[in-house]
């Protein structure tokens, strides 16, 4: 038997087809859940709105420093879909820009926390009983022992209160949870026969971690990431609400809720926009995460 280029290409072609087929099946499992699809639709709508905020928002200039006292405290109308605030800015516009900020925050926090937490967890779990485990786990314990919100608040209080420092605070409090989850999964998989078979073959430790163990725990990690996205918004909003996160006039949903609270209940509609925005975003992420869990559970 000798392999020609043609045979080889046929095999590679077949491999691609099989992969496509597997992806289709995963999508089918996701599609079965109406709620997951709802979550996905809401998320993509909000994401598109956030990306094209300048073009979609009726008054893009209202997102920043803008004052128009003539139009302040306007009730919900066709001109101002969610009314205007105490400085006469369109709340609908500000909520759309708030989504942009929320997505940015989620993106940055998750894209730092997930890889860092995962790699540290893999190392700690794989070298169970050796010094890397002790260092990583004790470090994680240190962060976990302080209540998350208190930790985030104290970091924000030490640093200057702004959106970047709020993200730093959330990132710092978040990674140990990933590390601990990945650690516990890794330390149970590291003694599976297929990992021993890989060791017997001479697969490098790094390849065992990333090619043998990681694909088997990727499902729970991604699911946790989507569910965590909702938490990032909530914690971020909480920090902002307490005045330690984004500062006015930044159109942050949490900051807006905190600002507009001062005019409640006289101008009660002001708070509806940003509060509903947070609720919808959190719910959409949770629905999407549940759908993902279904997809990975079927594997």
C-alpha span between 58 and 46 (Å, rounded): 16
Nearer to other proteins, 61 or 192 (CB): 192
Question: Of 58, 107, 147, 215, which one interacts with other proteins (CB under 8 A)?
Answer: 215
CB of 40 to other proteins, least distance (A): 24
Could you identify the residue written with the tokens 């101008």? 267
Q: State in angstroms the smallest separation of the CB of 295 from other proteins.
A: 14
Token pair of 236 as six digits = 């971020």
- Give the 3-state secondary structure of residue 243: coil
Closest CB to other proteins among residues 212, 252: 212
Q: 75 or 194: whose CB is closer to other proteins? A: 194
HSE-up (13 A, CA, CB side) for residue 163: 20
């101002």: which residue's tokens? Answer: 80
Residue 232, C-beta contacts closer than 8 angstroms, at least 6 positions apart: 105, 106, 109, 110, 170, 174
Which residue, 35 or 203, is less far from other proteins as judged by CB? 203
Any bridge partners for residue 90, and if so which?
84
In angstroms, the first-to-last Cα distance of the chain is 35
Using rule CB under 8 A, residue 52 touches other proteins: no
5-24 binders of other proteins (CB under 8 A): 5, 7-8, 11, 14-15, 18
Q: x-or-dash pattern for other proteins, window 170-209, by CB under 8 A?
A: ----------------------xxx-xxxxxxxx-x----
CA 49/CA 102 separation, integer angstroms? 12
Q: How many residues bind other proteins (CB under 8 A)?
A: 28
Cβ at position 211, least distance to other proteins in Å: 8
Answer for the pair 88, 69: CB distance below 8 angstroms, yes or no.
Answer: yes
The pair phi, psi for residue 90, each rounded to 5°, is -70, 120
Rounded to the nearest whole angstrom, what is the least distance from the CB of residue 23 to other proteins in the complex?
A: 13
Sign of the four-CA dihedral 64, 70, 74, 77: negative
* Minimum distance of other proteins from residue 200's CB (angstroms): 5
Both tokens of 185, joined, read 């999964």
What mask of x and - would describe binding to other proteins in positions 101 to 140, judged by CB under 8 A? ----------------------------------------
| Number of residues assigned to the chain | 299
**Least separation in angstroms between CB 32 and other proteins:** 19
Q: Which residues bind other proteins (CB under 8 A)?
A: 1-5, 7-8, 11, 14-15, 18, 192-194, 196-203, 205, 211-212, 215-216, 299
């Amino acid at each position: 038997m000798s392999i020609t280029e043609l045979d080889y290409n046929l095999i590679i072609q077949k491999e691609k087809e099989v992969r496509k087929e597997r992806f289709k099946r995963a999508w089918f499992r996701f599609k079965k859940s109406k709620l997951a699809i709802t979550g996905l639709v809401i998320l993509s709508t909000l994401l598109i709105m956030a990306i094209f905020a300048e073009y979609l928002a009726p008054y893009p200039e209202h997102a920043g420093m803008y004052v128009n006292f003539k139009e302040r405290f306007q009730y919900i109308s066709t001109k101002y879909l969610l009314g205007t605030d105490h400085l006469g800015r369109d709340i609908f516009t500000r909520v759309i820009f708030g989504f942009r900020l929320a997505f940015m925050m989620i993106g940055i926090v998750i894209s730092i926390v997930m890889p860092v937490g995962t790699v540290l967890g893999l190392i700690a779990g794989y070298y169970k009983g050796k010094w890397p485990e002790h260092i990583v786990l004790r470090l994680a314990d240190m962060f976990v022992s302080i209540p998350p919100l208190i930790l985030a608040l104290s970091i924000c209080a030490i640093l200057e209160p702004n959106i970047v420092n709020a993200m730093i605070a959330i990132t710092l409090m978040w990674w140990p949870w990933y590390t601990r989850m990945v650690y516990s999964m890794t330390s149970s998989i590291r003694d599976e026969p297929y990992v021993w078979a890989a060791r017997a073959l001479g697969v490098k430790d790094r390849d065992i971690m990333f090619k043998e163990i990681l694909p088997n725990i990727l499902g729970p990690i991604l699911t946790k990431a989507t569910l965590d996205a909702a938490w990032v918004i909530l914690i971020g909003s909480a920090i902002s609400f307490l005045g330690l996160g984004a500062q006015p006039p930044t159109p942050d949903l949490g900051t807006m809720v905190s600002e507009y609270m001062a005019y409640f209940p006289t101008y009660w509609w002001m708070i509806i926009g940003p509060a509903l925005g947070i609720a919808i975003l959190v719910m959409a992420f949770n629905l999407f995460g549940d759908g993902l869990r279904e997809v990975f559970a079927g594997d």
